[in-house]
Chain A
Amino acid sequence: MNSGPEQKTDFNPFMEQWIKAATQAWESLAKQAPAPGKTASTAEATPKGPKGRTRESWDASFKVWQALSSAMGDPQFWSAFAKGSNTLPEVFVKMANSGWEGFVQLQRRWLEKAAPKGDKSQAYDFDHLDEDLFKTWSEVYESELRQYFNIPQLGLLRFHQEKMNQATDQFNRLTAAVGSFMHLIALPIEKSLTVMQDQLSRMADEGQLPENPKDYYNMWIKILEGHYMNLFKSADYVQTMGKTIDTLNEFMAVRQEVAEDFLQALPVPTQREVDELYKEIYTLKKRIKALERQQK
């Protein structure tokens, strides 16, 4: 495995060799097997006289199979097949590379986060937060995987298929954004417990630990409140909250489109159609009010 973060892991030669070996094996097997067309015919002597429709269709199928078998027995067929098959590895390798690189990148960042270099996030400080796993996943998803959901679709159902792809894409983005947001929301709880521990150990050293358990709760809730106040004013929180709301709205919009596609097959008005009606009613009412005022 390459150690440098910049160098990509190259699996092309391995994949190509493997597929070449497999096709060569099948090719050699095919060459050794006798051509099915040259073996003793297994067909029964056809009775003289009129044949049924079923029997005729069987005979036709058998003749096609005989022709195909004799063609497959030709060594040149396998050479042509092998040449065509050799292009497949490149396609598979490209797709696998993309996913594999994304996975390796994710792992690498995860390991970097798991082994911090001595930097710690301070209590009550929510500026310049450490990269969290959700942000990393989000970046990898945006750069490596999202492109597959944007591939144009073909055929009669292409619009519906594209909407489904968009819905899946937006759902993935939403889960990443929500994960990141919830991680931020949980941070003050984590930090407040740390601060509480420090405070308690200081108080224990000074012999000033309170006797009433309620005092511990009051202490913790005050620390927690302070942490949340600081978090909510930080740029990271505002940005994450904004992104979560945006992805939620985008997901809802595309989910609505998918739902409307299904509803159009049923005798049920869609939300878009009802909204259009509401808009017309609203406009009409406004005009009537304006006309009434003019008459007064």
Chain B
Amino acid sequence: MSQAKIPVDLILSKLAEDAEQAQARARKASDVLLDSLDTAIATTPYDVVYEEDRVKLKHYRPTTATQLKTPLLVVYALINRETMLDLQPGRSVVQSFLSQGIDLYMIDWGYPTRKDRYLTIDDHVNGYMDSVVDYIRSKHKVNQINLMRICMGGTFSVIYSALHPQKIKNLVTTVTPTNFNTDQGLLHIWMRDVNLDRMVDTMGNMPGDMMNLGFLMLNPARLMIDKYVGFLENMDNKNFVENFIRMEKWIFDSPDVPGETFRQFITDCYQKNLLIQSKLQVGDQTVDLKKITMPLLNFYGKYDHLVPPAACEQLTGEVGSKDTEDICLDTGHIGIYVSSKCQKEFAPKIFSWLKARDQQPHKVAKKKARAKKAAPKKNKLQVTSEPK
């Protein structure tokens, strides 16, 4: 019987080497961590131009001449904060848009408190969002604005665009869940059997920390162990540490979600999947996706474990618009916004798409459409993202 070859000596010598390196790294790391670190996020200057309760409308100060006549409103999700779009210089979607000459507005949903627990999706969409859209339209003296949405904010924007199509010129959706009848993502499996009513009645608002814990549990090996092992290996690198801390600041900055909004979102979307079927009731209106007749550009991530492709790709087939485009990027849920490679494709693509449609008016058909809707164009934009 041949003896197993276990290179104990090599392993031990490598361990000794690593231990020496770790020691040197630890010494340098203490200098890095005790030094002043630039970890500020969302540093692009803006003005708060409208406020209603906890909701603020941010208007970013232009850095170049405006190239698009129509302003762009970005609507982020209620989960986490919109600061992710302006994480750091060089990886800021906001700065990319500003440098392209887009007149940019963004909703800051603020931090809900217990008094916000009774706010529904209707309050957010037909209340706050509608007020903000009307403000921008009035300020710029335009009938319609461009709307871009992120994740759950995208779901709200889909609802808004279906209920108020006359106010939206062009619609851009990114990693937006609209079809929840899929087992591709763990959230879709887990949310099906949760007793929502009990949870919301007990807690009021859905605590941000609890949601964070849920997101970490999606992949605890990578998100709770490997991520920090990677940090320990690179904590002597000041640039790495600053970027890491910025991301940590954003990822754990989780506001609570108003209880009634959470209840309806999970019950009607995750559990009953009413949105994609055009059966979702918001207030006293039914959300009919066929009423989305404005041009639609739909981004999603191929490796998105939170909002898998199956949750995003059906939208363009269900809307009434004839001008739709799907773009699947080789990245995950937030890689689209923070990956430097995706940044080079994502923002310019949106700009060029909006520019091509900036002068074309979007008229909401008053009568039923006579022509058969053309098949949506699907483009697979292959962008190799950096590892998350």
Contact = CB atoms under 8 A, between A and B. Distances in A.
Interface of A: 185, 204-205, 207, 209, 211-214, 217, 221, 224-225, 228-229, 232-233, 238-239, 241-242, 245-246, 249-250, 252-253, 256, 271, 274-275, 278-279, 281-282, 286, 289
A4 B130 CA distance: 72
A242 B195 CA distance: 8
Interface of B: 4-7, 10-11, 14-15, 18, 114-115, 117-119, 123, 127, 183, 186, 189-190, 193-195, 198-199, 201-204, 217-222, 225-226, 229
A281 B125 CA distance: 19
Contacts of B5: 204, 207, 209
SS class of chain B's interface: helix, strand, loop or mixed?
A: helix
Contacts of A238: 189-190, 193
16 contacts: A204-B5, A211-B7, A213-B14, A217-B229, A221-B226, A225-B221, A225-B222, A229-B219, A232-B186, A232-B189, A233-B183, A233-B186, A238-B190, A242-B193, A245-B199, A278-B115
A174 to B, nearest CB: 12
A185 B221 CA distance: 11
A-B pairs, 7 with minimum CB distance? A207-B5, A225-B221, A211-B10, A249-B202, A204-B4, A278-B115, A282-B118
B217 A232 contact: yes
B195 A245 contact: yes
B114 A278 contact: yes
A252 B7 contact: no
A256 B10 CA distance: 60
A278 B222 contact: no
Given A221-B222, A256-B202, A275-B117, 14 more contacts: A205-B4, A209-B11, A225-B222, A228-B221, A229-B219, A232-B217, A232-B218, A249-B203, A252-B202, A253-B198, A271-B114, A275-B114, A278-B115, A282-B118
B118 A209 contact: no
Contact of A282 (B119, B190, B219, B225): B119
Nearest to B305: A229
B163 to A, nearest CB: 14
A275 B204 contact: yes
Given A238-B189, A274-B114, A213 B15 contact: yes
Contacts of B114: 271, 274-275, 278
Contacts of A207: 4-5
A118 to B, nearest CB: 28
A294 B194 CA distance: 40
B16 to A, nearest CB: 10
A129 B127 CA distance: 49
Contacts of A224: 221, 225
A279 B194 contact: no
A237 B220 CA distance: 15
Nearest to B195: A246
Contacts of A279: 118
A238 B10 CA distance: 44
Contacts of B199: 245, 249
